[in-house]
Amino acid sequence: MRKIIKIVIILFIFVNFLYAVSGAIHYPLQSIDVYAYWFLKAKSFYVNGILPLTNLNAYPYSHPQHPILLPVVVNFIYHIIGGVREIPVFLIYPFIYIAILFSAYKFFRKLGVNETVSLIVTYIYSMFSPLLAMAGRKHAGEADIFITLINWGVVHLVFNYLKDKKIKWLIATSVLIMVASQIKTEGVITAVIFLFIPIARSRKAILLSISMLPAIIWNLIVIKAPLVRDFGWMLPSVLSIVKRIGEVFYYTLVEMANVRNWYIFWPIFWMSFLIGQRKNQLILKVATNTVLAISAFYLVNFVFSTFTPLEYVPGAMDRILIQFSPFILGSFALKLEVYLAKWDI
């Protein structure tokens, strides 16, 4: 029975991969963020060169102040293939999708979840509509899927450290966060995980500083260049802060209730808190605290942004959950295993 379930699930995941490949080929440049931001910058670099960076100010609607690592890499790919052709670049995204699913499966196995349940949760994850979209279904070309893969690397490395206490794993974690910070500004937020790892405060400070260094340097470049900032932060009145906090929670709940957008991910995730008990492993405690810290950061960001919560929250929710899904799925997998044990699955 288990063997049949495993084969069927693997086939279904492969079908999802083909579905993503089909989207990357037949629905290119569907996302406004791709053609007005990520790939616009890549094409500008290809035509005009990367320097001076102030050339980015010609496109003030494309977040000139954001890091440029992804457009730079895409620009190099254009040079390698001899011209601006999006499809070869888009075809990278389904393979990033498969790498994410493989990383998720391997992490569940590290946590001690049995093979069958690990595959079931991986398949549920593979059907998460924002992830499928970024893998190729009309959103290929966005940056969040790379940060998601990096964050899976982070949870693996932190797990390894908690297991054998070798500092090399945390150094590698810091390097991954440095890369993520240069893909998107929020990529640096994952550095908060160091606050919850049981290490000396001096090491926490060093690892945090190293992780944040590229982001600090980039922001200094933005100021020095200078680059246009198409959004920023403000200090609203006390009444406005209370009002905006209420709006953030309201729009977040509205997005969670959008079953069409989230497929079955949210209902199953919240149901997992009601089924079974499992010893709270240290890695899950670290992950939970990281999610809470990240959530607090985003709440502050939404409240003090020059964008209104209506403009900001609905569009950001899928990206936030995609990026930080590596920190919440382990608990779900463990609890689902307990629930399914009665059927010997």
What is the model's pTM? 0.91
Task: Give pLDDT tens digits for 114-173.
Answer: 899 999 999 999 988 889 999 988 888 889 999 999 999 999 999 999 999 999 999 999
The token duo for 245 is 């906090």
Alpha carbon distance 56, 34 (integer Å): 15
The secondary structure of residue 38, as a DSSP letter, is I
Percent of the chain with pLDDT over 70: 92
- Sign of the four-CA dihedral 54, 55, 56, 59: positive
pLDDT of residue 99: 97
- Which of 208 and 258 is assigned the larger pLDDT? 208
- Which of 229 and 223 is assigned the larger pLDDT? 223
Q: Would you say residue 277 has pLDDT above 80?
A: no
Mean pLDDT of the residues in the chain: 87
Alpha carbon distance 8, 3 (integer Å): 9
pLDDT of residue 47: 92
Q: Are 22 and 48 in contact (CB under 8 A)?
A: no
Task: Give pLDDT tens digits for 52-97.
Answer: 989 888 888 888 889 999 999 999 999 999 899 889 999 999 999 9
Residue 344 one-letter amino acid: D
Q: Would you say residue 267 has pLDDT above 80?
A: no
In the numeric block, the tokens 């970024």 are attached to 134
The helix, strand and coil proportions of the chain, stated in percent and rounded to the nearest 5, come to 80, 0, 20
27-36, 88-97, 273-282, 334-343: the lowest-pLDDT one: 273-282
Q: Would you say residue 175 has pLDDT above 70?
A: yes
pLDDT of residue 183: 94
Task: Give pLDDT tens digits for 315-330.
Answer: 777 788 888 889 888 8
pLDDT of residue 270: 64
